Structures are given as C-alpha cells and as structure tokens.
Copies of this chain bind each other. A is one copy, B any other.
Amino acid sequence: MLRSHTCGELTLKNAGQTVTLCGWLARSRDLGGMTFIDLRDRYGITQLAFNMETNKQLCEQARKLGREFVLKASGKIAERSSKNLKMPTGEIEIVVEKLEILNESKTPPFTIEDETDGGDELRMKYRYLDLRRSPVKNNLLQRHKVGQAVREYFDSNGFADVETPFLIKSTPEGARDFVVPSRLSPGDFYALPQSPQTFKQLLMVSGFDRYYQIVRCFRDEDLRADRQPEFTQIDCEMSFVEQEDVLNMFEGMVKHVFKKVRGLDLPKFTRMTYADAMKYYGVDKPDIRFEMKIVDLTPSPSPQGEGSNSLVKGKGFKVYDDAELVAGICAKGCAEYTRKQLDELTEWVKRPQIGAGGLGYIKYNTDGTLKSSFDKFFDAVGLKKIADKFSANAGDLILILAGPEAKTRKALGALRLEMGERLGLRDKNKFECIWVVDFPLFEWNEEEKRWFAMHHPFTSWKKEDEELLNTNPGAVRANAYDVVINGVELSSGSIRIHDRSQQEKMFNLLGLTQEEANYKFGFILNAFEYGAPPHGGIAFGFDRFCSMVINNEDYIRDYIAFPKNNSGRDIMLDSPSQIDAKQKKDLGLK
C-alpha cells in the first residue's frame, strides 16, 4: 500500500507515530509561517502541516499545490494547537517530512463541498467529481449497508440468492420492453427484464422454496421526474405460504434494515385496505404521519337509503347538488388563512395536475362563528353540522372539493398532502409504515378499452370474489399488497396463480388470445402443469427503499452512482449514441 493509514483514523492516541497518508487536497491555508492542507480520502480528512522555518523548501512546494491534487505525505503525528473537535481527526495534524504528488488536477468545474455551486447538468457530466462530495458519497456507502442488511435478513431466513437471466424474451404487458437485437439469429430480439417475475415463479416450481435477489430491471417508459430506465429491485418469492406469512416475513425485513442501518425500532405496520386508503386518504399510498382524513359529505349508501342524510345536498347550491362526491379535509388551526392564502390554495387545486373545479371552505373562527365560501346557501346551523362532521374546533379551516368521485378523491388526497406539508406535519424523523391490502385485481384502461392487471397478470384473486370475474371484473379483489412508508410506495407483491386454467382465464380477461398467451407465456403455463406449489412474493424498489431508509426522502437519483437524466441520457458518457455501421450491419439493422 502506498499509505500506512487512511485520513479518517488518526487521533491523539497516535501522537508521535510516523505515518504515510494518501488523498486529495480539499483545502489549503497559508498562515504566515505555516501552511495547512486538508487531505481528504473516503474515510475522512486529516490536516497536513508545513512550516516555513523548519522546512522552507517543502512548505513552498506545498503552497503551489492546487485543489484536488492527489498527494502522498509522510510525517509525524503531532497535537494541534488549534483543535477542531467536530471531526474525529481534529486534534492532530501531520508534520510533513516528505511529500509526493501522485497526480495533478485541473480546477474542478464546481466546488467539491457539501453544498456545491454546480448545477444539475454539470454535476451529471462530471459525476465522478460529484461523487467526491460527502452527501452523495455517503448515500452510496449507506446504500451498501442497506444491501448488506437486506442480504443478512434473507440469508438467515433460508432464502437463496439465485441469479436470473437478463437476455430474455419480449412479453410486454403494461410497460415497454427494452430489446436487444440478436446477431446470431438475425431479425430476432432478446428483451431486458422488467422484473424477474416469471423466473422466480419457475424457481418456486423447481422447489427452491425461498428465493431473493437484488437485481437490475429495465422499463422503457416515457420518463417522468425521478424515474430511471434501469432500476434495482429486491425481488423475493416463497412457497407454501398464505398472504399473512408473506406480510410477516417482509415486514420483518424492513424492520431489520431500519434497525441495522438507522438504529430505529419500527412498530408493527398498520394494515389498511385499498378501499379505506382511497376513502380516507384519496390515494393508495397514504402518508399517515398526520391525520386529516377525508370526510364524505355526500351520503354513502346507508340502510335508511335516503339522500336526506347528506349535509350538502338540496340546499340549492348547484355545484354540490350535481356533484357525485362532495368531501373535504379539516386543516387544524388554519381558520386565520387570509383571502390571499385561500385564493392561492384555490389556484393550487385548479392546476391541471390536481384538476379540481374550485375550492370550498368553512372557516371555524376562534370566536365560534362560521364563515364559508357558500354562505349564500347555508345557514349557521348547516355549517355547524358540517363542522361537527369533521370534528372541527374553533380555529380550524375546512376545505371542500366537489366533482366526480375518483377524480375528486384523488384531488383531495393531493390537497391533504399539500396541507400536511405546509403545516409541517410530514415529520422527517417519523416513519409510519402501512401494509395496503386487498387491491383490485384489474383497472380499466380507457385508451385501450380493456382491463389491465393492477399488479401483474400472475396475481391471484380472492376466492370469495371469484364469481365477479365474469360479471364485474372491476370489483374483484386481488391477493395483493403494498408496503407504504410515509406516503411512498416501496414495494408490491401478491399471492400468485399456480394453476394453468386459472392463469389462462386471467390472460383471457386481459384480452390475450389463447395463441398469444401460449406464444408469450407458454413456458410458465406448461410449468404449472408439472407440480407448481402455492406461492407468493414481493418486490421492493431498492433505489427508493434506500432513499427512504437513509434520509427519509423520496428522490432516487442521489442514491444511484451513475444515474440517467429525465430523458434517459447518460450525460457523462453521452449515451445513447451512434454505433458503427459495421455493428449495425452485423445485427441486420439499417
């Protein structure tokens, strides 16, 4: 080794030792007779000291060194006169006796500091320099720890890490596949896997019993912010299990990782049905760090069967009378919102991403009076009844949206998160974990006018809903479940179909002819005829899981060493790019 120690380990205990360090020049200061250099490596920073009086030549050499030069310095460890107790090595410095420049550096295009002056594009282009900055570097080092903890858990629970192929067959069902032209079989293509779904199921058919893999997956989607065309998945499957076994096993994994990496003991996960999540939070991945549930003001079907139990209908306010759904949330302590703030909120909900027609409100003033945006149609008693329905108190602000059921719930879900954000209720130090269960089996695709599998086509349905498959597919519930933490969906899983005729029925409901099903999925249909065990599993988005565990944030790009931009380009490599004419010819492409 060119060094005897790293820049992160020397303390007063080592005083007097002669050591050799290697690293990068992070900062240098000339103080009259002395020059100090902060030498940085992966492990820390150690101060190098040069003295004009005792070693003029070396000190002058040190003064000429630029930022990010790679140095090798030898000398004795001495106690610093001016200590920095914020860093582990802050009590010592190396009185340098020998200095070697291992490599020079041009001036970096942005500062290598925790807070840098470099813009996004520039940092992407020089990603290898951005990775020198502590926040990004630490994310990746922590990501390694998350992976270690994941493997530790699975290894100790008898899961086998089995690698599945990357050059597979194109069977797009939902997102687009990336494809790879074959040279040996011109005109044919491999596809890159969107997930190892069918392979892990085949491993269950093979009797592997418990499988996991931390594996790259690929989806050729039109990229949105913070999506990557390639991403990493923690992929798992178990045999001879029921849903409850799967939930317990993977809840255990999440807890183990939080404990190992963050030292946190997570409480038992909340269980919530998809129906409840949509009803109370307007979204299938609720952030329950704060309450502020959605309250319906249009009646749900009740034994009484009367519309009269609605608090908003029949008052002559056409917007509410005509609306399929009128519902709202109660923002605690916001009764003092000004006209301007309310106008701004109204504009916010009318943005195309939210799409509400307008925003109704009731201010429950601190003096006990009630003031609404629809006072014309409601008396104080009517408003009070609504306020009571929200369990509102004096000082609260009720925000109401009206419109078609699904759209309005979704808008309310977004408004709820926005208000939670504004009120500081989305606590960075809090983790609220939920299992959302009983997802619908299908969702309707208006564009293609057919049912799509909400999870994927290998998900089984609830036995008790089986009769609905032919009459009302939209109402069939799946044995499917998601892990949601703080409003971020981290994983999806299901109990799978393991019977050929059921799988064929599923493909049929998704609009595949028998011929198509056999061409694309014949191998797994066949496999189901040779003793497929009951099985189920789950997959975690590893990039997002890391961003949540490490920093409780939902932004994956800073947790990937070499990410692509929002157009799927690698700016550093300048890829995708042209290839040689010969390469194209070999592949039969023009």
Binding site for B on A (CB under 8 A): 1-3, 6, 22-24, 40-43, 68-70, 72, 102-106, 108, 126-129, 131-132, 137, 140-141, 143-144, 147-148, 151, 155, 160-170, 172, 176-185, 187-192, 199, 202-203, 205-209, 216, 218, 220, 222-223, 229-230, 232, 239-242, 245, 498-499, 522-523, 526-534, 560-562, 564, 567-570, 572-580, 583, 586-587, 589-590
Contacts and interface: CB of A to CB of B under 8 A. Distances in A.
B184 A577 contact: no
A181 to B, nearest CB: 7
A580 B169 CA distance: 12
Nearest to A239: B22
Chain A binding site: helix, strand, loop or mixed by DSSP? loop
A68 B576 contact: no
A245 B1 contact: yes
B531 A105 contact: yes
A527 B561 contact: no
Contacts of A143: 162
A170 B531 contact: no
Contacts of A587: 179
A176 B583 contact: yes
A163 B579 contact: no
Given A42-B208, A578-B187, A573 B169 contact: yes
A229 B530 contact: no
A166 B527 contact: no
B531 A69 contact: yes
B103 A189 contact: no
Contacts of A2: 240-242, 534
Contacts of A209: 6, 41-43
Given A523-B573, A560-B163, A207 B530 contact: no
Nearest to A249: B1
Given A166-B192, A182-B568, A188-B578, 11 more contacts: A2-B534, A102-B533, A103-B533, A143-B162, A163-B232, A164-B561, A164-B562, A165-B562, A180-B192, A185-B567, A185-B568
A449 to B, nearest CB: 17
A140 B583 CA distance: 35
Contacts of A229: 167
A166 B128 contact: no
Contacts of A567: 184-185
Contact of A169 (B41, B166, B208, B574): B574
B523 A137 contact: no
Nearest to A178: B180
